[in-house]
Structure 1
Amino acid sequence: MDLNSPLFDRIRVKPAKSAPEKPKAKILCSHPGCQEEGVFRAPKGREREGEYFTFCKDHVREYNATYDYFKGMDDESMAKFRQADAIGHRPTWKLGDRAAASHVDETVFAEARAARRRGLKGKAPQTEAAPRYNALALKALMTLELDGQATQARIKARYKDLVKRHHPDANGGDRSSEDKLREIIQAYNYLRANKLV
Structure 2
Amino acid sequence: MQLPRPAGPLDARRTFPFPQPRAAAGSRPAAVAGRIETTDNGHGPVTSDIFDRIRIKPRTDEEVRARANERVCDWEGCAAPAAHRAPKGRGAEGDYYHFCLEHVRQYNKSYNYFSGMDDDETRAYQRDALTGHRPTWKMGVNAKGAGARAWSDMDPTEAARARAEARRHGTSSSRGGGDRDGPRRPKVKPLEAKALDTLGLPHTARDAEIKSRYKDLVKRLHPDANGGDRSLEDRLREIIQAYSLLKKAGLC
- Judge same fold: TM > 0.5, yes or no: no
Give the TM-score, by structure 1 length.
Answer: 0.37
TM-score (norm 2): 0.29
